[in-house]
Amino acid sequence: MDKMSRRSFLKAGTAATAALAMTPSEVLAAQASKKKAKTPTKLKLLGVGVGGRGHADINGCCKKSDTELYDDVEFIGLADVDWKYAKGVLDEYKKLYPNIKLYHDYKTMYAELLEQADGVVIGTADHTHAIIAAEALIAGKHVYCEKPLTRTVYESRLLTKLAAKAGVATQMGNQGASGEGVNLACEWLWNGEIGEVTRVDAFTDRPIWPQGLEHPAEVHKIPDTLNWDAFIGPAPKRDYNSVYHPWNFRGWWDFGTGALGDMACHILHPVFKALDLGYPIKIQGSSTPLMAESCPNAQMVKYTFPARPNRPRVAMPEVEVTWYDGGLIPPRPEQLPAGKSLNISGGGAIFYGTKDVMIVGCYGESPYLLSGRKPNAPKVCRRVTVSHQRDWVRACLEDPATRVKTSSDFSEAGPFNEMVAMGVCAIRLQGLNQILDWDGENMKFTNIPEGAKVNAMIKDGFSIHDGHPTFNKTFTDPVDARKFAAELVKPVYQNGYVLPELPTD
């Protein structure tokens, strides 16, 4: 594949200018005036961000095997900001679909191909999920988006509402949601097998990328194959350094959500689903040193959820859910045999019931009861017999009037991801030294004192003099905590990107 020049970036960006001239609300109004297209028999799809996890997602949509394609899917365009990282994928798909078009920026691809596409598969860095998905939903397209669905609470609420308004098929990429383990965990709990649950502890063994970092001192040359401006997208501008990309974006506040955003979407999903959780009412966070730009090495977040309506066979009282990561592990249940690890495929969740304790692995895998009982609860959950991605394809091809929602449709994934994103808020507001009260309906903290300030560490200034450790810490200037909290919930987009307002009901 040919290298990409700065001139080609400018040329490619020009094609998107007309599309960017319209605001999202104008696009939505224009789309609303059009008749809805008939349900297609073959999906024409676009892929955005295909060099990493996105590769598995587009493969999951269209490949029966390494050598055979499904005949109900065709990828007509792929976009990735890094043509070195994505080279193997782009070369592979150019052979699979000879007429496919390749792009360095999703905006250019959208300007040329979105109207003729049926759906979009998104596997970019966290901070661009919301804008790429929102533009597709506003245009009435089906959306598959990797986890975390969004970086912030408001963005999750936005995608939930846009998807409902568009009436399209959606799926978040937490593939365990389509697995048998999540179904069993829900059915056992709903059948009263472990009794009422008032406490859940959950953890992951991530991060496996660098976190707890200071701003890199060096400025690296931008590779010819990387469109750095397109990677930055709506985030604040910064100089390129290879510590940010590829893949390591997850450890930086502007681009990712750390181990919590990455893995809670897998590990907390059966917790959210089985316990019928909605908005938490209280949250608190603590961590290793809170850095200004990078997620901490380890953290703990405690959520409090109010009582929910009872299920026929079990009540749903107030429950505390506590998250651990970065090597922190919850206290071991007393009944757990010595030497047995709580970690199943990268983490797990421990449900403490009044009758029994249930442990569920990462991705909802291998649930079991500490009593050793083997429940035989009624099977009330829909079983997915294909892959997570193919179930989304199935939903896309169904008549909207009778469509069966996917296992992580945005109607569920959006509210669930709000829970995950709130954990990031609690960590970044831990300097307030208080339990935070949350008004979920209005997306705001209600008990941050007027005039309260927060800051974060820029450098720890660690050195050793004559064997004595010394810290000469420097911090950001204190900022108004209420304003900072509001921007954690609803980010301010930059560089010409526009965050759409919530659609009216």
**Confidence check: pLDDT of 20 > 70:** no
| CB-CB contact of 362 with 344 (8 Å) | yes
19, pLDDT greater than 50: no
Task: Identify the helix (H) or strand (E) that includes residue 73.
Answer: strand 73-79
What is the share, in percent, of the chain residues with pLDDT greater than 90? 88
Q: Measured between alpha carbons, how far is 392 from 406 in angstroms, rounded to an integer?
A: 6
Q: Which pLDDT does position 466 carry in this prediction?
A: 84
User: How far is CA 123 from each of CA 55, 58, 144, 215, rounded to the nearest angstrom?
Assistant: 8, 9, 9, 26
pLDDT of residue 41: 83
Architecture field, domain 178-212+242-369: 2-Layer Sandwich (3.30)
Q: Does residue 495 have a pLDDT over 80?
A: yes
Q: Are 129 and 145 in contact (CB under 8 A)?
A: yes
Extents of the domains making up the chain: 6-176+388-416, 178-212+242-369, 435-487
Residues 395-420, mean pLDDT to the nearest whole number = 98
pTM of the predicted protein model: 0.92
Q: How far is CA 358 from the centre of its chain?
A: 26
pLDDT at 106 over 50: yes
Tens digit of pLDDT for each residue in 240-280? 999 999 889 999 999 999 999 999 999 999 999 999 999 99
Is pLDDT of 371 > 50?
yes
Residue with the bigger pLDDT between 377 and 469: it is 377
Q: How far apart are CA 418 and CA 421, in angstroms?
A: 5
Tell me, letter by letter, the H, E, C secondary structure of 2-44. Answer: CCCCHHHHHHHHHCCHHHHCCCHHHHHHHHHCCCCCCCCCCEE
**Going by C-beta distance under 8 Å and a sequence separation of 6 or more, which residues neighbour residue 144?**
57, 61, 119, 120, 121, 122, 170, 171, 173, 389, 392
C-alpha atoms less than 13 angstroms from C-alpha of 327 in its C-beta half-sphere: 7
Torsion angles phi and psi, residue 247, rounded to 5: 75, -40
| Alpha helix (H) residue ranges in 75-114 | 87-96, 106-113
pLDDT for 165 equals 97
Convert the pLDDT of each residue in 146-197 to its tens digit: 999 999 999 999 999 999 999 999 999 999 999 999 999 999 999 999 999 9
The per-residue DSSP string of 395-446 comes to HHHS-TTTPPPPTT-HHHHHHHHHHHHHHHHHHHTGGG-SPEEEETTTTEES
Report the pLDDT value the prediction gives residue 33, as an integer from 0 to 100: 38
% of the chain at pLDDT higher than 70 = 92
Average pLDDT for 211-223: 95
- Confidence (pLDDT) at 38: 54
Same fold, 6-176+388-416 and 178-212+242-369: no
CATH of domain 6-176+388-416: 3.40.50.720
Q: What's the rounded mean pLDDT across residues 458-467?
A: 89
- Is the pLDDT at 211 greater than 60? The verdict is yes
CA–CA separation, 457 vs 294, rounded Å? 10
Per the prediction, the chain carries an average pLDDT of: 92
Q: Is the pLDDT of residue 215 over 90?
A: yes
Residue 34 has pLDDT above 60, yes or no: no
Give just the sign of the alpha carbon dihedral 228, 232, 236, 240.
Answer: negative
Closest CA relative to residue 245, chosen from 234, 230, 260: 230
Judge whether 78 and 46 are in contact, CB under 8 Å: yes
